[in-house]
Amino acid sequence: MRLLSVRLILSLIVGITLVSLAFSYYEVLREKRVLRTQLERSSEELGESFALSVEKSWDSTRALQRTVQRFGAREHLLGVGVYDLQGKLVAITPELAPILGTVQVT
């Protein structure tokens, strides 16, 4: 009788542990999916906002550089760079300049 109760208790412990592990794994996957979706959405919004600001200040190099620095200082970005249609670097944040190249700001 005692052996039966010990096996029952161990079976219950193992079963509850397995169910808890499976549920935790599922929750981690779900949370990662939610965070990835939020990151994609916020990066899309930031990109659209940045594109509009760059379009508005495209004619002035100084205004463009200010826009780049303003956007580079937020959202914990490493930096921001703007290229023209030919692939020439037009404006860049100072933190990113040593990595990508430098731009002469007038």
Domain that includes residue 30, residue range: 1-56
Q: Phi first, then psi: give them for residue 58, nearest 5 degrees.
A: -65, -35
pLDDT at 105: 46
pLDDT at 1: 63
Please tell me which residue, 15 or 79, carries the higher pLDDT value: 15
Whether residue 1 is found in the same domain as residue 46:
yes
Other Cβ atoms within 10 Å of 56 Cβ, number: 12
Q: Quote the tokens at residue 2.
A: 């005692």
Tell me the pLDDT tens digit for each residue of 20-76.
999 999 999 999 999 999 999 998 998 899 999 999 888 888 889 888 888 887 767
**pLDDT higher than threshold 70 for residue 84:** yes
End position of a domain, from candidates 34, 56, 78: 56
81 forms beta bridges with 92
pLDDT at 3: 73
Whether residue 77 is found in the same domain as residue 106:
yes
